[in-house]
Amino acid sequence: MKEKTEKTNCARILERMKIPYEAFSYPCEEFTDGLTAASLLGLPPEEVYKTLVTVGKSGQHYVFVVPVAQELDRKKAAACVGEKSLELLPLKELFALTGYVRGGCTAVGMKRQFPTVIDHSASARKNIYVSGGRIGLQFSLSPKDLLTACGGKWGAVTTQEPPEAETP
């Protein structure tokens, strides 16, 4: 359901950057996985992306935005950011590090901006849906605008193989 909602840090940053987005909410009081969120909003799962926070062998944190129906390939993701290996951030550390809770975490407006990689699959889409900064809130925006807002880069970081380039 599209609606006006209280501003999240993510919304304030997007508005300050003059990046257009639409907010959509769904009934939810606690963590709901991305596939369920997509279903509650009546969206195709391939248009909904989740935000994962990781920690590299070096101790540096990284953010990855990937389709909800896919898994982060930690080996590909580590190579993409120049790390030997990556682990998902323990949930108990998520709020203190990012200011967001599980199910409401988004790449825009964390307490600190971490290196961010958006899966290459988003680059072919007109819009994608990502968390708006709280549980039960999704934002629809251009993947290129999301990339700009979080200062990220594209990368092939899921277990799914990237599409091969067409040959003439």
Task: Give 1-44 pLDDT, tens digit per residue.
Answer: 444 557 899 999 999 999 999 999 988 877 888 888 999 999 99
Confidence of residue 165 (pLDDT cuts 50, 70, 90): very low
Instruction: Please write the tens of the pLDDT for every residue from 73-121.
Output: 999 999 999 999 999 999 999 999 999 999 999 999 999 999 999 999 9
Q: If you average pLDDT over every residue of the chain, what do you get?
A: 91
Backbone dihedral region of 77: left (phi > 0), alpha (psi from -120 to 50 degrees) or beta?
Answer: alpha
Residue 77: its pLDDT value, please? 98
HSE-CB of 63 using CA atoms within 13 angstroms: 27
Q: Can you tell me the distance from the alpha carbon of 81 to that of 56, in angstroms, rounded to the nearest whole number? A: 9
Fold of 9-154: YbaK protein (3.90.960)
* pLDDT over threshold 50, residue 67: yes
- pLDDT tens-digit map of 131-140: 999 999 999 9
d(CA 91, CA 83): 21
Q: How confident is residue 149, by pLDDT bands cut at 50, 70 and 90?
A: very high
